[in-house]
Chains A and B, each alone.
Chain A
Amino acid sequence: MHFKYLTPNTIPQAMALLARHKTRATVMAGGTDLVVKMRSRAIDPAYVVDLSNIPGLDFIDFNPRDGLNIGALASIRALETSTLVGKQYPVLQSAAHQLASPAIRNMATLGGNLCNASPSADMAPGLIALAAKARIAGPEGETFMPLEEFFSGPGKTALKAGQVLVGIQVPASQASMQAVYLKHARSSIELAVVGVAAGVILDSDGRSCKDVRIVLGAVAPTPMRARKAEAALLGKKLDDKAIVEAAEIAAGEARPISDVRASADYRTEMVRVFTGRALRVAAGIAS
């Protein structure tokens, strides 16, 4: 394993390095996924571009216009312990809490968790449920992309050569969403067998479903929305019967594989169980 370790001090420097070395370069943030992959020879980059010397990328702030802005280098631990996040978007705090162990959470960053693009990434489902957008810096300037379009396959993102994920924005409008992320794993330290985020905005009647998002992790090549299940709930009264039906539909939408953690059949079944449980919590039927 031979590679050049590069430490840009600014985003433009990082973009230039990535544009120059293209697919031979890989970005490093906390390193908790990257180093494991390199060690196991799953990847063999010629250049490692470490972003951690770039100042000011670890912010977390909220304003009523933009909503929540999180820098790509904010640690998972910072999200977990942020009162701001806890108050406005508790699902993100809870997802952060369920990601690996405290030692890993201290190292791992939000940007890293997303750019690693694991189908089981714990931060993705909750953020997608909240309609979060990826803030991307590139040679053509800064652009925003819905996070659900950010993932293109296991380990693959929509980032083009020279582009860097610099942050995540969660719209202020979503602060009224009741959202929950449930992770089914042997323990939170382990990778998710199935992860389900459900977010619900109830109508002014307090019963029917004005907006709903169901996002599944670890059951498809990327984190995915269960759109048919969402459609089945939209505008409906969010009762147990509707939830059972939606959970069934979500299970049908999942496209899981069998691996060392579980079989595809078991994952499908767990999508049904945990979609039901997540919706019940989001709808306030269960705790």
Chain B
Amino acid sequence: MSELSVVGKNVIRLDALEKVTGTALYAADEALGEPGMLHGKVLWSPHAHARIISIDISRAKKVPGVEAVLTGKDVPEARVGSCVDDQHMLAREKVRFVGDAVAVVAARTLEAAEEALALIKVKYEVLPAVFDAEEAMRPDCPVVLHPGLSGYKRNMYPYLGNDLPGPNVHTHHKVRRGNVEEGFRQADLIVENRFSTARISHCQLEPASSVARPNVDGTLVISTSTKSVYTGVQAEVCRFFGLPPSKVRGVTHYIGGNFGSAPRAHIFAALAAIRTGRPVKVVFSREECFFRDLNRLPMVIYLKDGVKKDGTLVARQIKLICNCGAYAQITPLVIRNGSFGSSQYRIPNFRWDAYGVYTNEPPSGAFRGFGNAQPFWAMEQHMDIIAEKLRMDPVELRQKNLIAEGEENLRGEKTHSMGAAECLDKVAQWIGWGRPTSQPSSNTVKVAKGFALANKYTQVDTIASALVRFNKDGFVDVFHGSDEIGQGSQTVLAQIAAEELGVPVEKIKVIWGDSARVPYDHGAISSRTTMFVGNAIRAACQDVKRLICATASPVMGAAPEDLEARGGQIYFRSNPSKSMPVSDLFLPGRATCLPHDAELLGQGTFFYKGYSDGDPETGQGTRLTASYCYTAHAVEVAVDTETGEVKVLRFCSATDVGRAINPKLCEAQSEGGIAQGIGSALYEEMLLDRGRVLNCNFHDYGMPRMTELPGNHDLKCFLVEANHREGPFGAKGMGEGAMTPSAPAIANAIYNATGVRLMDLPMSPERLLRALKAQNKEAGHKSGPL
């Protein structure tokens, strides 16, 4: 590749000035003080499972200022949902989790809305509930959440609804390769364990905020915190309310983080706005975020591995039981796509069965890593267990089984852009694998290192479009539909446009966040923006360059193909010393030129032709993913064996990003992922008591603080660049992979420090201390009576 001038540089974020000066608009800033705006509040079910006998809204409606009190009777008859249509916007006959929506109040003041909410009298008949996914999965489970499940419409991946083993199971995803029974027969060593992961919350700093405005022309304008104005807002609202896309406009501003959360406050705002004809704002509290944001899907993972004496993996069998909560939401897709992670190793015989199960807990959904961090929690601990049993070095064991460039992975895809080996080497070297720890262990504090390797795919079956306007003053406007959720994508996209056009990045303006003004995009999900939108923008830039050359052709007296547009100039290819500024194309008074206020517009679209959906029975296909981002984490921990406390002393990540368009932003993603990874490993868990979240605030929920994170020279983020042939300048997505190996890396370090292996998350002091005591007891028994 020729020399790059903007790509690969640490360009300062385009939004930095706005954000540090406090002038940036966030979702909650929308409609502040707007006259006539109503405040919406939602009444949530206090029961995990109950039949609604009656709802009395008569007193609530009389509260001064109340404009509407809406219940299940006021919502469309048809059930709605993401993958499975299993939910009414407001509960009709039954509520299925603590936090199911029962009624919406819209009032002129927030106080009136809250007062009215308290006056709604709902009579419930409490029903038996089920909270444990393995219990709920049984064919004879006495509690059935959705007796009508077989008749529900499935919008996405309908084959996931086949071969369901019980009435509460909505998803069964299968992957088959080779013959695992035969593989286990060939194995010299078989390792088999049960693991589990906790329900955790995204904890994005800004709670959901939405404003829905009915326009006089019948358009509903929805301004909301989202990662996708098209798919997350426009398409969803259209589906839920039976509206055509032309009647729904999705708008977003900056938002205070996302990490996959999908609170959908806009559905309640839209419902109330449609009913009242007035703008309605709904802002969730932090407490509401905990049960409405669609938390990280908890899984029970049964893992069985077969391996030869020399460390060659020959068979792997995984059964996952996923506690999806009361409604399927996006979990069938999380479950399906969570299977891609296992592709990093060469495993000739592979069997995967993942079940999505309804329970009376809050629904789950997308969370950084999209179903991949959970299986890795098991798989990457197994690699260490195997290495120890075979007396092999765990780095070497992984290197030995890593799939190679060009090789077919266990899903049938041809491997490309494979930087995993280099990632492993980088972190092993930095942490000093095989060398002494940075501080010695004492009687009560044990210090050791551990690491893990994981990855995150990027979804293949999406599309991105972009428009580029080359202005006569040399500035360029880039229009696209992927939202800024704090990750810095606008800066990265500006760099891609600047590089392609050869103009300084300061001359690029990026316009996004409004479905009425920017072209379609699938959204800031699946670490796809850099690759998909980046490619669309690149194509649009190439298109505008073609247009510039074609327009300049008669002026410069050369065929368009003999001209090249670069850096605001048009050059003769044969003689680059001769050029004309693009701005001259706009000069008035020359018939061959553009009219004074004309525009030079280019457009581009990117999608994969010929991607495959995967065989429903085997999960095999030729192109199931767009790319894989590999991430290795290595960590040094100190374990206080008297308290069970784990302190992370040093942390290193290496991430294969294809090419770092903006290295600093990639490092920032890595650092954020490490923080979230440490939280998921050691502290975070939504504690539920019969479906009710006990710790739904930052006071009681254990996010890591700065004091729990290593910094300065104890933290290092490497970037590995295994260029991707289809990515813009070789780049591929990287944000989601940033936390996938953290928890098993820390678990491996804790094992190396103490000899205790924890298989349930989080590895809280109390859980670790219990395991340490059990280990002592066992050791006592072993050395017991002589």
Give residues in A with beta carbon < 8 Å to B: 36, 40, 101, 184, 186-191, 260-263, 266, 269-270, 273
Contact = CB atoms under 8 A, between A and B. Distances in A.
A260 B695 contact: yes
B483 to A, nearest CB: 30
A266 B766 contact: yes
Contact of B705 (A187, A191, A269): A187
Interface string B759-773: 000000110010000
A263 B708 CA distance: 22
A191 B701 CA distance: 11
A270 B705 contact: no
A186 B766 contact: no
B473 interface: no
B642 interface: yes
Interface in B638-665: 642-643, 645
Nearest to A101: B705
A186 B694 contact: no
Contacts of A260: 687, 694-695, 700
B607 interface: no
Interface of B: 642-643, 645, 683, 687, 694-695, 697, 699-700, 702, 705, 707-708, 765-766, 769
Contacts of B697: 40
Contacts of A191: 699
A186 B702 CA distance: 8
18 contacts: A40-B697, A184-B643, A184-B645, A186-B683, A186-B708, A187-B708, A188-B707, A189-B707, A191-B699, A260-B687, A260-B694, A260-B695, A260-B700, A263-B766, A266-B765, A266-B766, A270-B643, A273-B642
B766 A262 contact: yes
Nearest to B702: A186
Nearest to A189: B705
A12 to B, nearest CB: 34
A269 B769 contact: yes
A101 B698 CA distance: 13
Interface of A is mostly: loop
A273 B643 contact: yes
Contacts of B695: 260
B687 A187 contact: no
A266 B769 contact: yes
B700 A261 contact: yes
Contacts of B765: 266
Contacts of B707: 187-189
Contacts of A186: 683, 702, 708
B705 A36 contact: no
Nearest to A267: B766
A273 to B, nearest CB: 5
A186 B643 CA distance: 11
Contacts of B643: 184, 270, 273
Contacts of A261: 700
List 5 A-B pairs, minimum CB-CB distance, nearest first. A187-B707, A266-B766, A260-B695, A273-B642, A260-B700
B45 to A, nearest CB: 18
A187 B705 CA distance: 8
A63 B687 CA distance: 50
Most buried by A among B699, B707, B765, B766: B766
Given A186-B702, A262-B766, 7 more contacts: A184-B643, A186-B708, A187-B707, A187-B708, A188-B707, A190-B705, A260-B700
Nearest to B695: A260
Nearest to A187: B707
A189 B702 CA distance: 11
Nearest to B703: A186
Contacts of B705: 101, 187, 189-190
Contacts of A187: 705, 707-708
A76 to B, nearest CB: 17
Most buried by A among B643, B687, B695, B707: B643
A186 to B, nearest CB: 6
Contact of B699 (A36, A184, A266, A270): A36
B197 to A, nearest CB: 19
Contacts of A40: 697
Nearest to B693: A260
Nearest to A277: B642
A218 to B, nearest CB: 14
A119 to B, nearest CB: 15
B442 to A, nearest CB: 11
A270 B699 CA distance: 21
Nearest to A261: B700
B678 to A, nearest CB: 11
Contacts of A101: 705
